[in-house]
Amino acid sequence: MRATRTCAVALAVLTAVAVAAVIGVATVPLAAQVAAERAAFEAETLKHFQALVQLDTSSPPGNEHRVVDYLKQVFDAEAIPYQVFAKDPQRPNLVVRLKGSGRQRPVLMLGHTDVVTVDPTKWTFPPFAARRDGGYVYGRGTVDDKDNLVAALMTVLSLARSRTPLDRDVILLAEAGEEGAPHVGAQFMIDEHFAAIDAEFCLAEGGSIKRQGGRVVQANVGTTEKEPRPIEIIARGPAGHGSVPTKTNALAHLSTAVDRVVAWVPPLRLNETTGSYFRMLSTMAPPDKARRYRDILSLDPKVARAADDWLAVNEPSHWSMLHTSLTPTMISGGFRYNVIPSEAKVTLDVRLHPDEDQSTFLDEVRKVLADPSLEVRWARDRYRPAGGSPLGTAAFTAIGAQVKKHYDVPVLPTMGTGATDMAQIRSKGVHCYGLGPAVDEEDGPKGFGAHSDQERILESELHRFARFLQDVVRELAVAPTR
Ligand SMILES: [Zn+2]
């Protein structure tokens, strides 16, 4: 039985219940049918999910063709047309488009097919076994990003099978190379095949439903993110014998520079997303924290500064949402103990606030260092454009409505301190929103999160997310009955 008639059946059941209430007919068989439809949908979701997790697409090298080959046979069996775009034949992207009336511009669902590499010795269950245990599925990619991919796949299958009339095209991009190789994935698609994925809205990874103590508490929807762009600072001085101390030692010189840059607090910045985020959080948090979140929004710089200082110590990820951040991550210099090196270098992981003016930022860093003998430079060209998506769109409204229906928790627009491929897609004017299934907040520190050694997802939350995503897309795309 095709599971995707669930919605139609649910409607039929509602009607039947109403009729039965009037004429006193037992409704058990229909309720049982709904349960059976739902069970079949979940079984199919799980089957595809396990199959996708079992395909080793760790990047490098990627081998995303394994997922594309799998999806091709799924779509072939349903006679759903697709296109494949590949810069590297081993790393193709697959696009499916369900045609709508064209009354509205398309909605794009993004799921990346690659995963980060693994150290199999650290895994209790083999990383590509998709083992089920205690209500979880374990494996690389279970929360990054084969969850989004399978939810998008099931949405396409459901809409295609029900032949639901659509007001806009629904597009699925199964995208290669998200984990550090955008030149074969997002960047390649927007540079060379953007027409195939051009849309008004995009739904992708980059958000999640937060659970605490087994209870869902809030929905974080990614609406903007910081831009990673490392900076290098290089100190130079005469080399010499380590037995003769000098005032021009490059290493000593560099350590002073690191001290200065770490002590510097770039300006506090708020935008539509973070303003709304901290405002909402202040209505949900316990009183002591709520005050800090309110104070961050204060127009009195002293009050905001005190709250900001508190976040820096107690909630650094919240602090990072309010600033461009500079974190020293690599230091190099010297090659043996008795030689004073002539050069020493520190690399700073700089995450630029989306509102940062990049053309003047490097000069600000130079001013902070106040030492013209240091070389300060970008470690690479800009490649992830900054940008954000507004909160007043039909997509954000639909997400809010479906969060209410499926999770019944507040929606918080969120600025990611990391980076996703939404940045590339946003740069083409597409409004992107980051979504994700519910995960336990406690799971990350225990080592079960994305990129860790025991990545896992709750089966029940995978299913709820698949239903949620489908309903968001239906709300956005299904033609109203006229
Ligand atoms: Zn990811």
How confident is the model over 333-370, as pLDDT tens digits? 999 999 999 999 999 999 999 999 888 999 999 999 99
> Ligand 1: distance of its center to the CA of 105 in Å?
26
> Nearest Cα to 205, choosing from 459, 58, 422?
422
> Ligand 1: distance of its center to the CA of 214 in Å?
24
> Ligand 1: distance of its center to the CA of 144 in Å?
4
> Ligand 1: distance of its center to the CA of 86 in Å?
20
> Ligand 1: distance of its center to the CA of 206 in Å?
8
Long-range contacts of the stretch 331-336 (C-beta < 8 A, 24+): 331/254, 331/258, 333/235, 333/250, 333/251, 333/254, 334/251
Please give the C-alpha separations between residue 299 and each of 269, 270, 304, 385, in angstroms, as whole numbers: 12, 11, 7, 29
Read off the pTM. 0.87
pLDDT range class, residue 383, cuts 50, 70, 90: low
Q: Where are the beta strands (DSSP E) in 208-306?
A: 208-212, 215-225, 227-228, 231-236, 240-241
Beta partners for 225? Answer: 416
Q: What is the pLDDT of residue 16?
A: 42
pLDDT range class, residue 381, cuts 50, 70, 90: confident
> Ligand 1: distance of its center to the CA of 45 in Å?
19
Q: How far apart are CA 287 and CA 353, in angstroms?
A: 28
Kindly give the pairing relationship between strand 438-440 and strand 208-212.
Answer: parallel
The phi, psi pair for 197, rounded to 5°, reads: -125, 5
> Residue 297 pLDDT more than 60?
yes
> Ligand 1: distance of its center to the CA of 468 in Å?
19
Burial of 112 (0-12, 13-18, 19+ CB in 10 A): buried
Q: How far apart are CA 160 and CA 340, in angstroms?
A: 69
To 5 degrees, how large is the angle CA 235–CA 239–CA 243? 120
> Ligand 1: distance of its center to the CA of 139 in Å?
14
Q: What is the pLDDT of residue 1?
A: 37
> Ligand 1: distance of its center to the CA of 129 in Å?
19
> Ligand 1: distance of its center to the CA of 142 in Å?
10
> Ligand 1: distance of its center to the CA of 179 in Å?
7
Question: Domains in the chain, start-ordered, CATH in brackets?
Answer: 51-219+396-477 (3.40.630.10), 227-378 (3.30.70.360)
**What is the b/e burial string over 406-445, where b = at least 16 CB atoms within 10 angstroms of the residue's CB?**
bbebebbbbbbbebbbbbbbbebebbbbbbbbbbbeebee
**Residue 77 and residue 89 in contact, taking contact as beta carbons nearer than 8 Å:** no
How confident is the model over 55-98, as pLDDT tens digits? 999 999 999 999 999 999 999 999 999 999 999 999 999 999 99
> Residue 28 pLDDT more than 80?
no
> Ligand 1: distance of its center to the CA of 439 in Å?
15
The phi, psi pair for 282, rounded to 5°, reads: -70, -20
- DSSP letters, 178-209, are TTT-GGGTHHHHHHH-HHHH--SEEEESS-EE
How confident is the model over 132-162, as pLDDT tens digits? 999 999 999 999 999 999 999 999 999 999 9
Q: Is the peptide bond before 76 cis (omega within 30 degrees of 0)?
A: no
How confident is the model over 103-128, as pLDDT tens digits? 999 999 999 999 999 999 999 999 99
Beta partners for 191? Answer: none
> Ligand 1: distance of its center to the CA of 56 in Å?
15
> Ligand 1: distance of its center to the CA of 145 in Å?
5
Q: Where are the beta strands (DSSP E) in 262-410?
A: 325-333, 339-340, 343-352, 375-378
> Residue 11 pLDDT more than 90?
no
Q: How far apart are CA 85 and CA 107, in angstroms?
A: 19
> Ligand 1: distance of its center to the CA of 109 in Å?
14
How confident is the model over 458-476, as pLDDT tens digits? 999 999 999 999 999 999 9
Q: What is the pLDDT of residue 422?
A: 93
Q: How far apart are CA 57 and CA 113, in angstroms?
A: 7
> Ligand 1: distance of its center to the CA of 5 in Å?
30
> Ligand 1: distance of its center to the CA of 177 in Å?
10
> Ligand 1: distance of its center to the CA of 254 in Å?
35
